[in-house]
Amino acid sequence: MNSNRSTGVAILGLGTIGSAVARLINQRGASIGELYGLDLKVTRILERGPERAARADLPRDLVTTSLDEILSDDGVSVVVETLGGESPAADWIEASLKAGKHVVTANKEALSKNFDRLQRAAHQSGSALLFEASVGGGIPLLVSYRQILAANQITSLRGIVNGTTNYILSQMTTAGATFDDALAQAQELGYAEPDPTADVEGFDAVYKLSILASIMAGTHIHPDSIERTGITGVTPDDIASASAGGEVIKLLGQATLIGGAVKASVGPERVSADNLLAHVRDNYNAVELVGDSVGPVVLSGQGAGPDPTASAILSDIVEALTSGASSNVPWKV
């Protein structure tokens, strides 16, 4: 007899990431049962129609078009939000928390624009809002951030937080590709969206930096307050000129705490070829944090792609059900 606690998961949006999460829950079900005593199952899916459920080998009758139906279902403990975009995702995250569901999300845009409001909703509801997958894909970044924050003031951070642009710049640097050819390859590999604006113009990196900078400052750093330059203006001549000087071009997000205020920016920067960040290639991300006691710490791994993202989401689902924490990181409300 299975004595594990039966736990329903609802997925809002069964696109690439949502499907990867469902697949991973199926694959890891037995070991999660053994390690944590949880019998995790996808029990509801919010989608326009049942076709995507069938394609992901999930029963078609799990699909509903009604969020209210999910929120009033006592069998659902965790809502996984993989819709993307700010609206309606931010409101649906808040409604799920208010309905007493834990929420796990990879949605950096909804979070970065509504960070304080959503953290507050989690604290007030007693449910968890966990978002490890929103920054750095599969890198256990926020869990490390939390550990460092317990003993340090983080004074600065910088890093590569967008896999698509890092892939494009890597191809331009190592294979001599043009921007357009490298972008087409990134789209073929599923890193870049059919409309790549959010990645190549730096918006995605700004959303992620906003989340990291907000945690660093302990106050909401809105994405609109972050300086932004994308990579569409980077030419093969720029790459060659950097290379001649022993440097490579990377899209860097940077934030520094100066007298209690944060200065943050995203843009293409020259990095010495000897620097660790210069060796972070393709869809990999890396973030260097500097703590006042620990000094610099570098965290790296795959920052884009369905499987690394699903890895972080599933870890957060287990965390929500086992830890009792209301957030991945400390936040004063």
Applying CB under 6 A, which residues contact ligand HSE? 137, 162-164, 191, 199, 204, 303-304
Q: Read off the DSSP letter of residue 50.
A: S
Residue 204 and residue 166 in contact, taking contact as beta carbons nearer than 8 Å: no
β-partners of residue 284 are 302
Residue 62 DSSP class: G
Closest approach, Cβ 187 to ligand HSE, in A, equals 11
Least distance (Å) between residue 91 CB and ligand HSE: 21
Question: Which ranges constitute the DSSP H helices of the chain?
Answer: 16-36, 51-55, 67-71, 89-98, 108-113, 115-125, 141-149, 163-174, 179-188, 197-200, 203-217, 236-244, 306-322
Measured between alpha carbons, how far is 300 from 288 in angstroms, rounded to an integer? 9
**CB of 77 or CB of 300, closer to ligand HSE:** 300
- Measured CA to CA, the distance from residue 212 to residue 158 in angstroms comes to 10
Nearer to ligand HSE, 282 or 319 (CB): 282
For the bound state, the minimum distance from the C-beta of residue 329 to ligand HSE, rounded and expressed in Å, comes to 18
Least CB distance to ligand HSE at residue 191 (A): 5
Q: Looking at residue 139, what DSSP letter applies?
A: S
In the set 41, 208, 263, 332, the catalytic residue is 208
Phi, psi of 175 (to 5 degrees): -110, 0
CB of 172 to ligand HSE, least distance (A): 16
Give dist(CA 218, CA 303) in Å, integer: 24
Q: Given the complex with ligand HSE, which of 119 and 309 has the nearer CB atom? A: 309
User: What is the maximum span of the chain, computed from C-alpha positions, in angstroms?
Assistant: 67
- Determine whether 98 is an active site residue: no
Active site residues: 208
